[in-house]
Structure 1
Amino acid sequence: MGLVLPGCEALAVPRAGGQRTPQDVAAVSAVPWVQVSGNQLVNDAGKPIRLLGVDRSGTEYACAEGWGIFDGPADQASVNAIAAWGANAVRIPLNEDCWLGINGVNPAFSGAPYRQAIEAYVQELAQDHLEAILDLHWSAPGGIKAMGQAPMPDEDHSPAFWASVADTFKDQPNVLFDLFNEPEGVGWSCWLDGCTVPAQGALPAYRAAGMQQLVDVVRQAGATQPIVLGGIDWAGNLSGWLAAEPSDPLHQLVADIHVYDFSACASTTCWDDEILPVAERVPVVADEVGQAVAGSPSACPSTSFAQGFFAWAAAHDVSWLAWAWDTWGCPYGLVANAAGSPTPWGSAVRSALLGAPQPALGTSS
């Protein structure tokens, strides 16, 4: 059944080239477009589906740096370009200070303007039947402006951030919540229940919010959508994920691992030993996949590593998103321009996406 968001009937549009059907304008469903069923993600017709797409970086840093909200265009044409690659999901990195409008972020790019821009972008994604994965990417405790990645979410602001985000999007069916980008420097006990994080760089020691606390915050806000939880060690380690899995009354948790050629789990052996046992119990998404050339950060690397992971993920029903839909050039920029012309890295990703046909999102067909 097609989904119509309250007050946004125009969102019930078909994919490019399709025709609107009576199902496309049916009443809104309380069921998100993607749900967890056992160890699979399924669409609203109950068909297994993988989330495949790109990360759209910019909304974590432009606002804090004081020059915008998105890094590049964020209109419907830009979303159409992503959909044209065959993607069905886009991950949106967020900044908690920008969302909450705190710690001296330029008010033109924070608070209500920031929140409204993110809401509008999520609705644009819905028009192309794309899932939005909302990710807490940059954060900082106390009165420190969030200007980068912290080791863990902070109790000062992260619970308030997720309470607000979950309340804002609880009726938006094309959303998943990625609670924290890359936990690092902590063990699984801290990951689950929080702890005092030692001082690091410009950050003082602070009390971290654990994943159980943030899961509870999202559910208390009334949001029922799936929740994505990255492992420790820069989200590159899932070895203790099952033992530390938070309690979710709705059983809608997804494990997340970031896969780069320089990360700890960067071989088929590790994927078989560490990712596969988790994927046999809960859905797994690798919501950052990329590769670089050690010692040459501006070089265009071979794409063989990522292509190998894409093939492995397809064989084991693992979802993935590539870093990143931005015009950065090599090694991580997927596109050369706003129209979506691919870089060498982007060409490999586009080919993988277009070669992975699967059931549609938001339709029972």
Structure 2
Amino acid sequence: MKAVLLWIGLVTGITSFAQTPVAVNGALTIKGNKIVNKNGVPPQLRGISLSWSVWAGEKYYNPAVVDWLKKDFKISILRASMGVQPDHGYLQEPERQKKMIFDVVDEAIKQGVYVLIDWHDHNGHLHIPQSKAFFAEMAQKYSGVPNVIYEIWNEPERISWDTVKSYALQIIPEIRKYDKDNLIVVGSPSWDQDVDIAAANPVKGYQNIAYSFHYYATEPSHRDGLRAKADKAIKMGLPLIVTEWGVGEANGNGRFDIAMNKKWMDWVEKNRLSWVNWNITDKKETTAILQPGAPANGGWTAEQLTPAGAYIRQWLRVLNK
């Protein structure tokens, strides 16, 4: 009898391990100030962001990289950061950019991980017609697919919350024409830091709306004060997701301080927030995951990872068991 129970336990364990993040969690919804899974529990997704789909990170927008990140890094969420401008971004080459997004998103769906379709733009308020057309097309294609999350404006810069909210209230209806339920992520001023301001006057009239929160662990202004802003927003009822954070400073470089990173990681874990680390590129920067010249199709060795890459890979493999 004990042998039978042991066998059942082993089989159950194998089955559970084999299930994908989306199979385990299903469609994501908002419950109070949390993003929750099909069982009403915060899933705490953890993963990596591809870099701008222009410049150095462009070559990693392919199915092989998605597969490797799922297999080796054990990601449960991926962010596809479609560059809107300047060079060869969506404004100049929309069909090319959309194909890159389709390639990545379709493979993420196949692999059973969640995927953020990110309008990676600092000037979304200047590109409303283009954004509306893009998200309408995405919503028609991926309506009801539980993997897909729409991130409608990467990082508003020094822009008022009224402007960001107005933008959101023009883009959200375009998505909801075709996709009534999937999670939509709204940005906030000051590079997704002023979440407390958004919490005082949130978007209303639509279901399943979350808000992005960004930080860089060693950025001098990203310390206790920024955590306090996020704590205030959460207390006010705002559901947050960390759609971008880096181990260094906001410019991509700076120090890689383990203690500062750990302090942020402890805060994120305590609040059970899902997070996406910045970024898959081989550019010579502190926050880059890959060493210059790392292969474009995944399969990276330990020597091809930067210190940031090794650090993030280790965290993901521990936390996403």
Structure 2 partner of 1:36 = 30
* Deviation at residue 86 of structure 1 after TM alignment: 2.6
In 2, Cα distance between the equivalents of 1:15 and 1:332? 35
Unmatched runs of 5 consecutive residues or more in structure 2: 1-13
Would you say 1:91 and 2:85 are equivalent positions? Answer: no
Structure 2 partner of 1:254 = 210
In 2, Cα distance between the equivalents of 1:104 and 1:172? 29
* Deviation at residue 50 of structure 1 after TM alignment: 1.1
Contact between 1:95 and 1:137, CA under 8 Å: does it hold in 2?
yes
Letter in 1 for 2:172: V
Other structure's SS at 1:49 match: coil
Structure 1 partner of 2:49 = 55
Change over 3 Å in CA distance of 1:128–1:315 after alignment to 2: same
* Deviation at residue 267 of structure 1 after TM alignment: 1.5
* Deviation at residue 48 of structure 1 after TM alignment: 2.2
In 2, Cα distance between the equivalents of 1:350 and 1:167? 34
Alignment of 1:167-186 (within 5 A): 167-186=140-159
Structure 2 partner of 1:207 = none
Structure 1 partner of 2:9 = none
Structure 1 partner of 2:112 = 129
Structure 2 partner of 1:222 = 179
Contact between 1:327 and 1:335, CA under 8 Å: does it hold in 2?
yes
Letter in 1 for 2:50: R
Letter in 2 for 1:285: I
Deviations 1:33-90 (A, max 9, x none): 322222222223433211211111142x25xxxx9x93236123x2232122232111
Deviations 1:238-259 (A, max 9, x none): 1211123112432x11111110
* Deviation at residue 299 of structure 1 after TM alignment: 6.3
Identity %: 18
Change over 3 Å in CA distance of 1:104–1:249 after alignment to 2: closer
In 2, Cα distance between the equivalents of 1:294 and 1:234? 10
In 1, Cα distance between the equivalents of 2:42 and 2:185? 17
Contact between 2:46 and 2:75, CA under 8 Å: does it hold in 1?
yes
Would you say 1:306 and 2:261 are equivalent positions? Answer: yes
In 2, Cα distance between the equivalents of 1:37 and 1:294? 31
Letter in 1 for 2:29: Q
Contact between 1:236 and 1:265, CA under 8 Å: does it hold in 2?
no
Letter in 2 for 1:330: E
- Among candidates 256, 264, 273, match of residue 318 of structure 1: 273
* Deviation at residue 217 of structure 1 after TM alignment: 1.8
In 2, Cα distance between the equivalents of 1:74 and 1:214? 27
* 154-163 or 126-135: bigger deviation: 154-163
Other structure's SS at 2:117 match: strand
Contact between 2:61 and 2:104, CA under 8 Å: does it hold in 1?
no
* Deviation at residue 150 of structure 1 after TM alignment: 2.3
Specify which structure has the higher proportion of helix.
2
Deviations 1:1-20 (A, max 9, x none): xxxxxxxxxxxxx9997389
In 1, Cα distance between the equivalents of 2:153 and 2:19? 38
In 2, Cα distance between the equivalents of 1:254 and 1:104? 29
Deviations 1:107-158 (A, max 9, x none): xxx42x54344223212112332110011114xxxxxxxxxx4263523322
Other structure's SS at 2:18 match: coil
Alignment of 1:120-159 (within 5 A): 120-138=103-121, 149-150=122-123, 152-159=125-132
Structure 2 partner of 1:143 = none
In 1, Cα distance between the equivalents of 2:218 and 2:133? 34
* Deviation at residue 355 of structure 1 after TM alignment: 2.6
- Among candidates 300, 316, 320, match of residue 353 of structure 1: 316
In 2, Cα distance between the equivalents of 1:245 and 1:233? 16
Change over 3 Å in CA distance of 1:214–1:294 after alignment to 2: closer
Structure 1 partner of 2:68 = 81
Change over 3 Å in CA distance of 1:150–1:269 after alignment to 2: closer
Other structure's SS at 2:58 match: coil
Unmatched runs of 5 consecutive residues or more in structure 1: 1-13, 25-30, 139-148, 194-209, 359-365
- Among candidates 271, 283, 306, match of residue 328 of structure 1: 283
Other structure's SS at 2:69 match: helix
Contact between 2:82 and 2:90, CA under 8 Å: does it hold in 1?
no
Change over 3 Å in CA distance of 1:89–1:166 after alignment to 2: same
Letter in 1 for 2:288: G
Structure 1 partner of 2:246 = 290
Contact between 2:118 and 2:152, CA under 8 Å: does it hold in 1?
yes
Would you say 1:238 and 2:195 are equivalent positions? Answer: yes
Structure 2 partner of 1:142 = none
Structural RMSD (CA)? 3.2
Structure 2 partner of 1:213 = 170
Contact between 1:131 and 1:174, CA under 8 Å: does it hold in 2?
yes
* 306-315 or 151-160: bigger deviation: 151-160
In 1, Cα distance between the equivalents of 2:83 and 2:15? 31
Structure 1 partner of 2:8 = none
Contact between 1:40 and 1:49, CA under 8 Å: does it hold in 2?
no
